[in-house]
Amino acid sequence: GGSAGIDVVTAESVLIEDEAIHLIPTTSNGPLGHGLAALLLGRSSATVRGIFVQPGVIDADYCGVIKIMVHVFSPPLQIPKGSVIAQLIPFTPQVPTKSNTAPQRTGGFGSTGLLTAFVEVLSASKPTRLINLTLNDFSFQAEMMLDTGSDITIIL
């Protein structure tokens, strides 16, 4: 056993005076190494202090300063340089890469490609569709019902 996450430290002091989302640079940079990606999550101690860290993904090919997306519940709030308000939860990406020579990305906080969206008109009848789910060599096909909520989509 051991810690699931690696703490990240804020690189500068920030005074947050509104409820907007702010980007706070850390002292950590990508790429993370060893082909790892990571989830960037808030520490519970930050949430107790009224600092909400928006979750993010740091891709294995990201190069640059890792930034924390935060908003506060009760501004104004000072976040001092050297604060530990977030942590990286590393994982091995499972999405196949297009090529081994793909350039490393330095952007972040923007689109990394074309938007892919599945669009279906939903009504009270809750339509069903033939769905193919595939992972590696395993494939599964079934007639499934589509349903949606205000912020989620469910495939049953």
Beta bridge partners of 10: 26
Catalytic residue among 61, 137, 147, 151: 147
Q: What phi and psi values does residue 73 have, to the nearest 5 degrees?
A: -80, -35
Q: Is the peptide bond before 103 cis (omega within 30 degrees of 0)?
A: no
Helices (H), the chain: 44-48
- Residue keyed to tokens 């090919």: 61
Contact 7, 46 (CB under 8 A): no
- What three-state secondary structure class fits 46? helix
Residue 7 among the catalytic residues:
no
| Pair of tokens at residue 106 | 């330095």
- Which is nearest to 39 in space by CA: 70, 72, 6, 65? 6
> Which active-site residues does the annotation give?
147
